[in-house]
Amino acid sequence: MAFDSPPADQLFVKCSRGDQWAAGEFYRRYHSAISAVAIRTVRQWRLAHLANDAVHHVYVKLWSNQCRALVAFQYQGPNSDMAYVRVLAANAASDFCKSLRTRPDQRGDAVPIDKVPAPAAEDNRAMVNLQLEDAERCLRLHLPAAEIERDLQIVKLFFLFEFTAAHIGRLSSIGLSAAGVESVIHRCRRAFAKCFALPKGKTAAGSLSKERSIGADAI
């Protein structure tokens, strides 16, 4: 970081005050990550042709209410600002996609979610689509109640945002080592295997209900 470049929390406050230099610095630091998250999200929703719209929507959300979400950031260690921005971007991009799927009358190029074809396998990876609501219900059935909120956060970071176990383990809010995160992921995979075992000939995408999905490797 350059000597005259402020830390993330100060930069976000400057952005909230309409500082044009701060807005440019924000773009320099975070635009690549924001674009990558938005593009990955629209691809998961089979809306890749709307990638630019999704990126624009992310910036609108980040800048809304005087950057309230950004100003709420609290430093939790090296790269925690990048992780925080990625989560905000993923949430905003997912909301953008969800709004198109649930309100098809708003755009001519949107289709109802129940008309979306099942996603094809990518790069020889076994892709399983789990709805966030279904995943949460499953984990609440099979995991200790005292740990469920932390474990749900790990599931979202690992499967939806593609954080590594090591990266998650560095977040102070999680309170686990990388090995501990791996153990949680293993327990969650076992829970998903129990909840979402599929009969022969059925696909995961065709068997689960509507709304947002998490892509995972061979759960």
Q: Which helix (H) or strand (E) holds 184?
A: helix 178-195
The number of distinct structural domains making up the chain is 2
Q: Both 83 and 158 in a single domain?
A: no
In a domain? residue 58: yes
In this predicted structure, the answer to whether residue 205 has a pLDDT above a threshold of 70 is no
Burial of 35: CB neighbours in 10 Å, binned 0-12, 13-18, 19+: middle
CATH number for position 152: 1.10.10
State whether the Cα torsion 130-113-33-92 is positive or negative.
Answer: negative
Contacting residues for 109 by C-beta, under 8 A, at least 6 apart: 49, 50
State how far the Cα of 219 lies from the Cα of 213, in Å rounded to an integer: 14
pLDDT in tens, 69-120: 999 999 888 889 999 999 999 999 998 888 887 654 444 444 443 443 333 3
Q: Report the alpha-carbon angle 6-12-16, nearest 5.
A: 130
Range of the domain at 74: 8-113
Q: Where residue 219 falls among pLDDT bands split at 50, 70, 90?
A: very low
* pTM of the full structure: 0.49
pLDDT in tens, 22-60: 988 999 999 999 999 999 999 988 888 888 889 998 998
Q: Both 12 and 85 in a single domain?
A: yes
Token duo for residue 130: 């789990």
- The DSSP code for 33 is H
Q: Both 52 and 92 in a single domain?
A: yes
Q: Both 64 and 134 in a single domain?
A: no
Instruction: Using the 3D structure, point to which of 113, 141, 156 is the last residue of a domain.
Output: 113
Nearest alpha-carbon partner for 84 in 71, 93, 96? 71
